[in-house]
Amino acid sequence: MPYGKGAKDEARLLLGGGQAFATPFGTFYAPNITPSNEGIAGWSTLDLANALLRGVSPEGTHYYPAFPYSSYTRIAPQDVADLKAYLDTLPPVARVNTPHELSFPFNIRRSNGAWKLMFLNDDPVIESENPRGQYLVEGLGHCAECHTPRNALGGLDRSRWLAGAPNPEGKGRIPNLTPSGDLAEWSVDDISYYLESGFTPEFDTAGSTMVEVVENLSRATPEDRLAIARYLKALPAVPNP
């Protein structure tokens, strides 16, 4: 998230960017998305839609897919418009974006166009009878960006959809969410309650970046948390490696 880790209360709304994301391709820095001159004050709703759905800046340049537009491309137009209206209400932060630190050839931004031809696809990933859960997991929630392994070019390996991946923070691994993975013994209600409270059926608690995910999802409706849980329990089973 653009705000610093551990930010609480009103500080969570200061989305001035700067958080670092270390990857095998280099270090990316979250941008300023507040309505300031250094952020997105001059953006239109169409500009935001192009960024989220196509990974293109208002100037027409390609964003790096560390910005998870490969998931966001599934977001409905009305939700983009609602998000823009909300971002416009945030406190402006006068902070210039930190340049990414990438080695050759990953610092050639134009190459992202070829990456999109290979990996940018707004089709549903799996067949699902749960459209709301699918929309929240595959699109808005962008769960696969952490929970699905990637190939050598950074594209998501759809054959192991949500089957766990190396932890980008370098410690352990991100859990396998499929029915034969780390949550195999969890019920739909267990998952839904975890997304609300952060408590597992074993009375453990969420850790690492999942703490902030739970804090955000605790504000979702109970129906949306149940939809997410039902989608996960209906996934094709992929065993842990």
pLDDT digits (tens, 9 = 90+) for 189-233: 999 999 999 999 998 998 888 999 999 999 999 999 999 999 999
What rounded mean pLDDT belongs to the chain? 93
Q: Please give the pLDDT value at position 106.
A: 85
- The answer to whether 152 touches 143, Cβ cutoff 8 Å, is no
Task: Using alpha carbons, list the distances in angstroms from residue 89 to 14, 31, 36, 82, 153.
Answer: 11, 17, 11, 11, 37
Q: What share of the chain has pLDDT > 70, as a percent?
A: 97
5-14, 52-61, 124-133: range with lowest mean pLDDT? 5-14
pTM given for the model = 0.92
Query: In the predicted model, is pLDDT for residue 60 greater than 90?
Result: yes
Provide the pLDDT for residue 208: 81
Residue listed under structure tokens 């039902």: 230
3-class state of residue 27 by DSSP:
strand
Predicted pLDDT at 1:
42
Report the largest interatomic distance among the alpha carbons of the chain, rounded to a whole angstrom: 50
pLDDT tens across 148-186, in order? 999 999 999 999 999 999 987 777 899 999 999 999 999
Q: pLDDT over 90 for what percent of the chain?
A: 80
- Please compute the mean of the pLDDT values over residues 117-138 and round it to a whole number: 96
Binned at pLDDT 50, 70 and 90, residue 93 comes out as very high
Q: What is the mean pLDDT of residues 130-145?
A: 97
* CA–CA separation, 112 and 110 (whole Å): 5
pLDDT digits (tens, 9 = 90+) for 80-92: 999 999 999 999 9
Buried b (16+ CB within 10 A) or exposed e, 200-220: eeeeeebeeebebbbeebeeb
Cβ neighbours for 148, distance < 8 A, ≥ 6 positions apart: 156, 157, 158, 160, 161, 162, 163, 165
Residues 46 and 77: their CA atoms lie apart, in Å, by 10
- Residue 220's pLDDT is what? 96
pLDDT band at residue 4, thresholds of 50, 70 and 90? low
